[in-house]
Structure 1
Amino acid sequence: MMIFSAMLNIRKTLTKEAFVKLVLKWNDTSKYEYNIIPGIVWNGEYNARWGTDSLWLQIQEYRKKNIIAVRYEKRDDKGIIWDTDYVMNFAEHRMSVRLDRSYAPDALNTDTKFSTPHFITLLIEGGYLEDDGDLSVGRVPLIIDENHLEMIADVINEKKRYQLPAVYVSKTYYDEDPVDVKIMAGRLKGVAHVLVQECIGTNDMLRNMCDSRNEYYGAVGIYYPNPSFSHRKYLYRGDTDYDEGLMEKVIRAVINYSNSQTVDSLYTWQGVSNALLKEHLDVSLKEREKADTARRKAEQDAEALLNSLDEEEQRIREKALADARHESDTLIASYDQDYQRLRNEVDELTRMVEALEYENQGLHNKLAGTDAVPLLYMGEEKDYYQGEIKDMILSVLNNVLSSLPEGSRRKDLVNDIVSANDYQKLNEQRAETIRKMLKDYTGMTPKLRQTLEDYGFVITEEGKHLKLTYHDDERYWTVFAKTPSDHRSGRNNASKLIKTVY
């Protein structure tokens, strides 16, 4: 399961040699002695491996794409495997940093004190991280004084977006930081900019510059690079002390965003490994074709020689040539079978990796935006599609909002939960599709059947009717007439279907 993933823009000053040396420095300077692989001596080659079966470090180079991939793997006493991957693309000057662990029953219990990897600190100290526009990428907060008000106002007004999330921390009513901003910036190094208000004296100026949309009195705002991720605002609930819960919510939200970004397969260890294996197979195929060409030439030369021999010698030579040709054909056929088998294995492994990536992403989507302790626990029901239960609960809460009194605690709480959980209206979208497709229903068309089946309905024939069972669950079913006589039947069918499952 993926724990952390980030893409970093790297300066051209990071050479291949410097990259490998930095990785080895990261190994040698680990604060946990039992994580260090001792006695590593690098000879300058970019394909090497050190360590044991339970603790090892490997480097591999994919020259065709100018990529070096590094994997550090540790197997602990419980059999859990921890992988740390650094994949550097020197053609694009970008690096993927990724942490994974093998699945275990507690895999979803993420570390509430998570910090981005120490290797990012080494990149920062070496001056290897590229600036993000007019902001450097580091591990210390930037103080927002009057000289920076225009910049932060542009971020709040969505006129300016950085490649990394911008975390704006306002001062409390008592002109103090609501969280330990130095620790926050350190834990978010490389994946966010922590921008801290210098003093509450700038509140009025900033409010006027962004139409009162700015955070104030200890509130923290996260402004994402991707417009599809809405701005998140977290209120300060403390008095005079640091609000630890506030800091953990903000850090978790930023890490979840970083983990949700799509990563090309060549920025993963497995993707590079598969590419190298395919390249090796392709080279072997070319060598086979070259050998086959040489064989045919040899046969032609042998045929010419046979024509110059007497009858007995020719018979002997022909038998020897036939035996050699048969052996050669057998070897080539065997090679072709092995090649195709290996190629199929590579393709199958690639598909499996992609499937696991999607599953992994699904797990992270379920974690996105959650606090350390869940507000609600799952019952016995399971999602019939990803996000179904969450979306339906949010739908119920959203629908009841209009009936709640303005200014009431109940309305504020319900509105806060709906706003904080990325309500996507998935059920409403499905219901609207069904409503449109059944509007003029005159019978089950192939297109309508395909849509209903895609949405999980099992369709069976029962005399003059069609029975639709939702995900083959007999609790949720309805019937359609095969050839309806009433022009309103389509709307009625849609209404029954939507009320039953959405």
Structure 2
Amino acid sequence: MLLYSTTLRINDTLIRDGFIQLVIQWNQSSPHEDNVIPDINWNGEHNIRYGNESLWLDIEEYRNKNIIAVRFEKRVEDGAIWDTDYIMNFDTMEMTIQLDRGYTEDAQMEDLQFSTPHFISMLIDGGYLLDDNGIPVLRQAISITEDNLSLITDVINGNTHYRLPIVYVTKTAYNHDPVSISWLCSKLKGVAHILLQADKQTNWSIRSACNDNNEYFGGVGIYFPNGKHRRFLYRSYIGSDNILLEKVTRSVFQYMNAQKKPLLSTWPGVNNALLTDKYDSQKTERAEAERAREAAESEVEYYIGAFDEDNEKLRQQIEELTRANTSLQLENQGLREKLSGVDEIPILFLGDEEEFYQGEIKEMILDAVAEKLKNLGQKTRRWVVLNDVLQNNDYQEVSDERERIVKALFKDYKTLSGSMRQQLLELGFEVTEEGKHYRLTYYGDGRYKTTIAKTGSDWREGKNIASVILKNMM
């Protein structure tokens, strides 16, 4: 499973030995002790392997194409196989970096989190990365102010393009960041540029320059190199910042991981090329040796001995690639077995609406199914199917309980007591004061709000308030 993929342009200050030394430094200085390969003493070799079967670092030079390929592999107890590849092409001065996670057949695949390779930070800090059409590749956000508005307006208007996606983060209505910018930059370093609106006061200037096509008030826009654009709106409720951040990062990773890489920009591609060249070379030498058989029997014996030694090395390399292919087959087999062992098959997929509380959307759908069942004759095909769905999805009737609470809270409503306010907060309402009224906003989402008088006027008022809440918000 490819988790992270990017190709970065490198300046000429990074030489072959410097690249290898940087990779070794990356491993040896890792804060995770179980990632460090002990006793690495590099003596200038360009084809060498360190470590053991469960933790190793392999360096391969492909001289014909001026490429040095590096793979770091770690196998952990839960069955996961982590592969980090650095493929440096010194002809094009481009480096492809990929992080991949495979699984053995008995792997536990609960944890889907990963960290962006720290090697990206080392390249940035070392000053090895070229700018992307004028934008530096950084691990922090670029602040958008009145002085550099064209940096984002040109992107929005399609007047300029970059090799990496542009992520534009705007300030909320309260002039706050909608997500953790430091965390966003950490996750997307090397795969996207982060442009951060410095102050919401620039909204008017940007809108004027972009014909109102810009994001604003906490919205986040992703502008991809292929001209595509995704927009994520900001909604204020508990946990919304993490959800928004996850949506943005997932969208960027999906785009970057889908980009097709040249074979010689991948570890398997470089190794296959090395094997092919080795095979062609040996084939030529073998033919020459066969032709020399008639001339000198002793010379033939010499060649055959040399071939046997080279073929043994070639056999070992082929076995290693075969193990890699087997690992991928096991991964697919394991995934199939895990999927085939799941009894609950999803019928629907979630849309873009986030849940206000755990299970909200599922309960709404099941509520609709239960309501539909009331109007169907038993034993009909539609009743049998819908009832089967209802019985196999742990229907909790959460909405019925929430409805009961709301009706009880506003029965004979006179004023908003402290305990009543607390219960509303627990139901997900934000309570604010506006003159003679309270404003109730459901999970901070401005689409779902109502006002109530601070003092109830008659016995019907509480019933009407509950009716509005249940109809429009729950």
TM-score range, shorter chain: 0.5 to 0.7
- SS state of the match for residue 243, structure 1? helix
- The equivalent residue for 1:40 is 40
What whole-Å deviation, never above 9, does each CA across 1:111-138 have from its counterpart, x for those lacking one?
2xx4421010000011111110110001
- The equivalent residue for 1:294 is 292
Amino acid at match of 1:163: R
- The equivalent residue for 1:256 is 254
Contact 1:28 1:37 in 2 (8 A): yes
Q: Give the one of 214, 230, 233 matched to 1:232.
A: 230
Contact 2:4 2:100 in 1 (8 A): yes
Q: Distance in 2 between the 1:378 and 1:156 partners?
A: 46
- The equivalent residue for 2:395 is none
Contact 1:61 1:69 in 2 (8 A): yes
Q: Distance in 2 between the 1:168 and 1:108 partners?
A: 32
- The equivalent residue for 1:160 is 160
Q: Give the one of 275, 278, 284 matched to 2:282.
A: 284
Distance 1:45 1:351, change over 3 A: closer
Q: Distance in 2 between the 1:264 and 1:75 partners?
A: 27
Q: Distance in 2 between the 1:136 and 1:27 partners?
A: 26
- TM-score w.r.t. the length of structure 2 is 0.63
TM superposition shift of 1:233: 0.8
Q: Distance in 2 between the 1:297 and 1:216 partners?
A: 83
Amino acid at match of 1:81: I
TM superposition shift of 1:241: 9.1
1:172 aligns with 2:169: no
Contact 1:5 1:96 in 2 (8 A): yes
- The equivalent residue for 2:69 is 69
Query: How do 1:425-464 and structure 2 match up within 5 A?
Result: none
Query: How do 1:348-359 and structure 2 match up within 5 A?
Result: none
Contact 1:54 1:74 in 2 (8 A): yes
TM superposition shift of 1:69: 0.9
- The equivalent residue for 2:243 is 245
- The equivalent residue for 1:94 is 94
Mean Cα deviation higher: 101-110 or 151-160:
101-110
TM superposition shift of 1:292: 2.4
Amino acid at match of 2:58: Q
Q: Distance in 2 between the 1:125 and 1:268 partners?
A: 25
1:272 aligns with 2:270: yes
Q: Distance in 2 between the 1:161 and 1:53 partners?
A: 44
1:122 aligns with 2:118: no
Identity of matched residues, %: 45
Distance 1:242 1:13, change over 3 A: farther
TM superposition shift of 1:42: 0.5
Contact 1:60 1:68 in 2 (8 A): yes
Contact 2:47 2:59 in 1 (8 A): yes
TM superposition shift of 1:170: 0.7
- The equivalent residue for 1:472 is none
- The equivalent residue for 1:110 is 112
TM superposition shift of 1:293: 2.8
Q: Distance in 1 between the 2:252 and 2:4 partners?
A: 11
Q: Distance in 1 between the 2:284 and 2:242 partners?
A: 61
Q: Distance in 2 between the 1:103 and 1:35 partners?
A: 18
Contact 1:2 1:100 in 2 (8 A): yes
TM superposition shift of 1:109: 5.7
Contact 2:3 2:253 in 1 (8 A): no
Q: Distance in 2 between the 1:237 and 1:118 partners?
A: 32
Report how many residues are paired: 338
Q: Distance in 2 between the 1:136 and 1:107 partners?
A: 37
Distance 1:380 1:226, change over 3 A: same
What whole-Å deviation, never above 9, does each CA across 1:271-294 have from its counterpart, x for those lacking one?
111111111111111211222232
Contact 2:78 2:108 in 1 (8 A): no
Q: Distance in 1 between the 2:284 and 2:322 partners?
A: 23
What whole-Å deviation, never above 9, does each CA across 1:13-48 have from its counterpart, x for those lacking one?
111111011011101111111211122110101011
TM superposition shift of 1:379: 5.9
Q: Distance in 2 between the 1:175 and 1:40 partners?
A: 50
Contact 1:7 1:97 in 2 (8 A): yes
Q: Distance in 2 between the 1:185 and 1:137 partners?
A: 11
- SS state of the match for residue 129, structure 1? coil
Give the aligned CA root-mean-square deviation in angstroms. 3.9
Distance 1:352 1:38, change over 3 A: closer
Contact 1:2 1:98 in 2 (8 A): yes
Q: Distance in 2 between the 1:196 and 1:54 partners?
A: 42
- TM-score w.r.t. the length of structure 1 is 0.60
Amino acid at match of 2:283: L
Query: How do 1:348-497 and structure 2 match up within 5 A?
Result: 380=345
TM superposition shift of 1:381: 8.2
Distance 1:106 1:238, change over 3 A: farther
Contact 1:132 1:163 in 2 (8 A): yes
TM superposition shift of 1:185: 1.3
Higher relative contact order (CA 8 A, sep 6+): 2
TM superposition shift of 1:350: 13
- SS state of the match for residue 208, structure 2? helix
- The equivalent residue for 1:483 is none
Structure 2 portions without partners, runs of 5+: 337-341, 353-360, 362-474
Mean Cα deviation higher: 162-171 or 255-264:
255-264
Contact 1:166 1:192 in 2 (8 A): yes
What whole-Å deviation, never above 9, does each CA across 1:39-91 have from its counterpart, x for those lacking one?
21101010111112221111111100111111111121234322111111111
- The equivalent residue for 2:50 is 50
Contact 1:115 1:188 in 2 (8 A): no
Q: Distance in 1 between the 2:323 and 2:75 partners?
A: 24
Q: Where do 4+ consecutive residues of structure 1 move more than 6 Å?
A: 239-242, 348-353
Contact 2:184 2:249 in 1 (8 A): yes
Distance 1:37 1:352, change over 3 A: closer
Contact 2:80 2:108 in 1 (8 A): no
Q: Distance in 1 between the 2:9 and 2:74 partners?
A: 27
TM superposition shift of 1:186: 2.1
Query: How do 1:146-157 and structure 2 match up within 5 A?
Result: 146-157=146-157
